[in-house]
Structure 1
Amino acid sequence: MHDAPPPACGAPDPAGTPAERRPSGGGAPGGGRQRRAGSRLPYLLLLPALAVTAVLLGWPLVMNGLLSFQNLNMTQLIRHVTEWAGTDNYRAALGSEDFWRVTLRSVVFTAVNVVLIMLLGTLTGLLLARLGPRMRLLLSAGLVLAWAMPVIAATTVYQWLFAQRFGVVNWVLDALGFHSMAGFNWTGGQLSTFFVISLLIIWTSVPFVAVNLYAATTTIPRELYEAAALDGAGAAQSFATVTLPFLRPFLLVTTFLEVIWIFKAFPHIFAINEGGPDRLTETLPVYAFVEGVGNQHYGAGAAISVLTILILLALMSYYLRIAMRQEEDEK
């Protein structure tokens, strides 16, 4: 038998469909429209969240930016008068020695606390990975309770612990033989006040790092540790070659978040001593609040808050470049 000749151009094939009209991939005619609709679906689902974010976050930022260009105090508020000051608030802030002194203090305060939080949180997370189930559950419960405690409640506890006359810390130090600490005023000096604030911030921040780092360690395949042990690697070498590469992305993201949280920390500092003594423990958020609300210079406070956001963005841009460079090196 001879094979049948192919159908001529435009002639119907055995199925009755012209050869030039048959779909090449066997797909439905509406497949392209369905694919385009499917590609737009994620953006449509994000629209409600983006709209809520724009209203709750974007609008206050816009209003704060407009306020930073105004000369607004209690008189203008009562009279409902808007006095535009141009860039006077920004020039006054940038030309003030106090502003740059507080900025340097904020950067140093953030760096010290982030380093301590990441170090202690990493060690605690690795300890969780080594403990047995019961001890891990007990320690995890304590970490979660410390993390979940409201900031003002935690601040009240620390104020009681470090109280000058009836504080537990002074009583314990006196009982241990440090009698000069019996009536020590922890919030009477700059360094001692920062010590109390740092303890409070570290105590409330370490659980986040520790619990999440422990969760990250559970994703590391045990076969890699067994292979490293067969190659003669010790504990330090296993950590450097197996654990650390897996944890590096987590450490980068967590450090990024901790820098933001510590730099903008307000209730920890203000509730302990309102930025005292003599405004020596003010960071930029506290400084903006005191200048704006405390001194009723609302435009000046708004300008300082805008500058605080810009400084934080500058710090984060440098950190993001480091993170992106490291990600490219890993590829």
Structure 2
Amino acid sequence: MSAADTTTPAKVPPPRPAPPPDVPEQPRQKRPSAIAAAPWALLAPCLLILVLVMGYPLVRLVTLSFQTFGQSQLWGFKPAESAGFANFTKVLGDSGFWAVVLRTIVFAAGSVIFTMVVGMLIALLLQRVSGWVKTLVNIALVASWGMPIIVATTVFKWLFDSDYGVFNALLSKLPGVDMIGHNWFASGPEGLLVIMLLVVWGAVPFVVITLGAGLTQVPKELEEAARLDGAGAWGVFRHVTLPILKPIIVMLTTLSVIWDMGVFPQVFVMRNGHPESEFQLLTTYSYDQAFMRNDYGQGSAIALITVVLLLGVVAVYMRQMLKIGEVE
């Protein structure tokens, strides 16, 4: 055997395993706390502005309602004194205050009902007219909606003027009607009716435009099916249109109640800055107590009671919206 036969054969290294394919790096999942904080971070600027603009006046209103604060305290001659619940006791024990509350509720209820009925009728009518008529009506609605309240109030004062009013002249043209020289503001109910018409005139455009947008979402197939089942116009509106528009109607009604209970410039300007007792609503009554009688504590108490009443309306609205959400 030769030497070459006795040499040890060289060992061949085993093949290296192929490297694993590149696995894409999984994105890191955000923490639940970061996801929950994102909406608050986006809302922070708006909330800060609301706190600065509305927070301080509300805190100041609550503070004044529990203090004795008059002209002397306003000018710094005397320090404000704590009155406890004396302002609220005096307000709630005043029969005149409850008369104002009842008048405000009746005024707001009448304005809201009138606004919603007229707005719904106009919105339904606009669905059945030609395009150019609908455009003209919408232009008129937006123009009336954009008119400043002071200008609109001045126009209504002229329309219902006892000597030169156009409304009295038009009514006098009816057979057997003589309204020349009639003073609509000689009595509280007639004067508040005129102010109610002014409020409704300014609120109807918003209601019509909003309801008109809602009516475009009513499926035509459901209306056709209801007509095939024998339903008339009222039946289609009651069983098809009204349920679909219910969330919008609830929203509009709630906003209208809040706005109409807070009516101030219409009454103030219509009565030349001095509303008589039969024209007083909660807003003007609070202003009268604070700035005419210089009792800022009692005026603040009335304003705070008004805020509480409006919060009750908002609570009812939120409850209705939650019910609608659960049904859907």
Q: TM-score range by the shorter chain?
A: 0.7 to 0.9
CA distance in 2, matches of 1:274, 1:307: 26
Q: Is the 8 A contact 2:258 2:313 kept in 1?
A: no
Q: Which amino acid aligns with 1:293?
A: F
| Matching residue's letter, 1:140 | N
The match for 2:188 among 165, 169, 190 is 190
- Tell me the residue number matched to 1:15: 20
Q: Aligned partners of 2:291, 2:131: CA distance in 1, in Å?
A: 50
TM-score of the two chains, using structure 1 as the length reference: 0.86
Query: Which ranges of structure 2 fall in alignment gaps of 5 or more residues?
Result: 1-16
Match of 1:88 in 2: 86
- What CA deviation, in whole Å up to 9, does each residue of 1:132-183 have, x standing for no partner? 1011001111111111111111000000111111111122233435564211
- When the two structures are aligned, how many residues end up with a matched partner? 311
The answer for the alignment partner of 1:264 in structure 2 is 262
Shift of 1:269: 1.4
Matches of 2:226 and 2:162 in 1, distance apart? 54
SS at match of 1:186: coil
Matches within 5 A, 1:161-176: 161-176=159-174
Look up the match of 1:49.
46
Task: Within 5 Å, give how 1:104-183 maps onto structure 2.
Answer: 104-177=102-175, 180-183=178-181
Q: Classify 1:40/1:172 alpha carbon distance in 2 versus 1 (closer, same or farther; 3 Å).
A: same
2:20 partner letter: A
Q: Distance in 2 between matches of 1:264 and 1:104?
A: 14
Q: Does the Cα contact within 8 Å between 1:275 and 1:282 map onto a contact in 2?
A: no
Structure number, greater radius of gyration: 2
Percent sequence identity is: 38
What amino acid is aligned across from residue 142 of structure 1 in structure 2? A
SS of corresponding position for 1:30 = coil
Q: Do the aligned residues in 2 keep the contact of 1:292 with 1:302 (CA within 8 Å)?
A: yes
Q: Provide the residue aligned with 2:13 in structure 1.
A: none
Distance 1:275 1:100 in 2: 22
Counterpart residue number, 1:220: 218
Amino acid corresponding to residue 245 of structure 1 in structure 2: P
1:263-282 aligned at under 5 Å gives the runs 263-273=261-271, 278-282=276-280
**Distance of 2:141 and 2:261 partners within structure 1:** 23
The Cα offsets for residues 174-214 of structure 1, whole Å up to 9 and x where unpaired, read as: 34355642111111111110111011011111111111100
- Supply the distance in 1 between the matched residues of 2:273 and 2:113 (Cα, whole angstroms): 22
Alignment of 1:236-251 (within 5 A): 236-251=234-249
CA contact (8 A) 1:189 1:277 kept: no
Does structure 2 retain, via aligned residues, the 8 Å contact 1:164–1:185?
A: yes
Distance in 2 (alpha carbons) for counterparts of 1:55 and 1:39: 24
RMSD: 2.4
Q: Distance in 1 between matches of 2:227 and 2:25?
A: 53
Q: Does the 8 A contact of 1:71 with 1:82 survive in 2?
A: no
User: 1:42 Cα deviation (Å)?
Assistant: 2.0
Q: Residues of 2 paired with 1:194 and 1:89: CA distance?
A: 28
**Aligned residues of 1:276 and 1:282 also touching (Cα < 8 A):** no
Q: What is the distance in 2 between the residues matched to 1:298 and 1:72?
A: 6
Match of 2:293 in 1: 295
Unmatched segments (≥5 aa) in structure 1: 1-11
Shift of residue 109, structure 1, vs aligned partner: 1.1
Question: 3-state DSSP class of the match of 2:279?
Answer: coil
Would the aligned equivalents of 1:188 and 1:277 in 2 still touch at CA under 8 Å?
Answer: no
Give distance in 2, aligned partners of 1:39 and 1:190.
54
**How big is the shift at 1:27?**
6.9
